[in-house]
Amino acid sequence: MRGQVKALVLSGGKGTRLRPLTYTGAKQLVPIANKPILFYVLENIINLGIKDIGIIIAPETGEAVKQAVGNGNKWGVNIEYILQPEPAGLAHAVKTARPFLKNNPFLMYLGDNLIGTNLRKFYQKFLEKNPDAQILLKPVTDPSRFGVAEINKKGQVLRLVEKPKHPPSNLALVGIYMFSPKIHEAIAEIRPSWRGELEITDAIQQLLDWDCPVLSDILEEWWLDTGKKDDLLKANTIVLDEWIKRDVQGKAINTTISGRVVLPASARVVNSQIRGPVVIGENVQVENSFVGPFTSVGHGAKIINSSLEHCVLLDGVEIINIERLEDALVGRNSRVVKNSALPKALKLMIGDDSVVEIP
């Protein structure tokens, strides 16, 4: 393996599938269990010992990503930001990042993908086998939505197809790749697809056409592309279920707290019931309410006279007099308020700084 391995994280795009939430922020910064998705990605990379990380950003949300992540000092790594003016495809992102990547091998990781394991075995295989590309695959029920790989019994990749109408297998490409510098030559040979984008699947297929070694691994654990509301709620559920441990430090007055609940010292809960798994942020106020399983409550939120479960509330949210809120994704500093006493269950997805009043 020549050169030190770098990492390229894609945190650009316009996040159209998560609007209105992503009109005012990057989809990669939406929190799962009160931690931005992008931070899970960075931690997975940093745990491999990779020190140089380039982050692809978009003009619309790049400053928010910079502000949230910083220069890497808090993780002991170097982070460089690379502006991609338009979301013109994954291979275009690699092309844009060439001055940062130089002739180093690199790990490419889509910043809105979560997986239920670390990458140690995947990474070690790349270092030992030294292929020109290595991909991670996951069996799915709807492969036509993804890039799809056909492999042989040895795990060698035979061909790749992007979003095929007739998939050659059920193996979808997870948004995590390893590349040698040879990928730059392959990208130089391909042309935009019917979507008008430079597809990374086409570049890997070009390597195959040149008889370059392309290896694969099957991901046995879960994988989530958090591009839609339901995907985010599912990711929040899985992370809370598998990774959260009980840590109750905040004030709990006339309150029952059961299960794995994170309640920081600055939070205050009165006359309420909290049933985990639940993560509650700093300076949260809960009164006369029920907070049910698989809920994340952002910093500075208020939940008054309400009942909710299976929700993701971002920072500064207020939920007042809501009999039942479920399967909801609520943007920063938004208020959901009900004035009448009529019972009504709500399912919501609203962007930042919004107000919903139920008469």
H/E stretch holding 268 reads: strand 268-270
pLDDT in tens, 188-206: 999 988 887 899 999 999 9
Q: Is residue 267 part of a domain?
A: yes
d(CA 54, CA 88) in angstroms, rounded, equals 18
Q: Is residue 1 part of a domain?
A: no
Q: Which domain holds residue 77?
A: 6-230
pLDDT in tens, 219-260: 999 898 766 778 888 889 999 998 899 999 999 999 999 999
Same domain assignment for residues 177 and 261: no
Same domain assignment for residues 266 and 183: no
Same domain assignment for residues 283 and 323: yes
Q: Is residue 309 part of a domain?
A: yes
CB atoms inside a 10 Å sphere around CB 13: 24
pLDDT recorded at residue 346 = 59
pLDDT in tens, 143-176: 988 889 998 888 788 889 888 888 989 999 999 9
Q: Which of 317, 308, 231 has the alpha carbon at shortest distance from 275?
A: 308
pLDDT in tens, 110-125: 998 889 889 999 999 9
Same domain assignment for residues 221 and 249: no
Q: Of 166, 200, 230, at which residue does a domain stop?
A: 230
Q: Of 197, 230, 263, at which residue does a domain stop?
A: 230
Q: Of 230, 254, 273, at which residue does a domain stop?
A: 230
Q: What is the CATH number of the domain that holds 331?
A: 2.160.10.10
Same domain assignment for residues 111 and 21: yes
d(CA 52, CA 40) in angstroms, rounded, equals 17
User: How much of the chain exceeds pLDDT 90, in percent?
Assistant: 66
pLDDT in tens, 80-110: 999 998 888 999 999 999 999 999 999 999 9
Q: Is residue 238 part of a domain?
A: no
pLDDT recorded at residue 19 = 46
Same domain assignment for residues 25 and 85: yes
pLDDT in tens, 12-60: 765 444 444 544 557 788 889 999 999 999 999 999 999 999 999 998 8
pLDDT in tens, 258-302: 999 999 999 999 999 999 999 999 999 999 999 999 999 999 999
Q: Is the pTM of this model over 0.85?
A: yes
Same domain assignment for residues 55 and 199: yes
Same domain assignment for residues 218 and 260: no
d(CA 3, CA 101) in angstroms, rounded, equals 10
Same domain assignment for residues 64 and 146: yes
Q: Is residue 235 part of a domain?
A: no
Q: What is the DSSP string of 162-227?
A: ES-SS-SSSEEEEEEEEE-THHHHHHHH----TTSS--HHHHHHHHHHTT--EEEEE--S-EEE--
Q: Tokens at residue 171, please?
A: 């193996």
Q: What is the CATH number of the domain that holds 200?
A: 3.90.550.10
Q: Is residue 181 part of a domain?
A: yes
Residue 187, pLDDT > 90, answer yes
Q: Taking residues 340-348, report their average pLDDT.
A: 56
Same domain assignment for residues 95 and 197: yes
Same domain assignment for residues 213 and 249: no
The domain total for the chain is 2
Cβ-contact 342, 358 below 8 angstroms: no
Same domain assignment for residues 29 and 131: yes
Q: Is residue 314 part of a domain?
A: yes
Q: Is residue 184 part of a domain?
A: yes
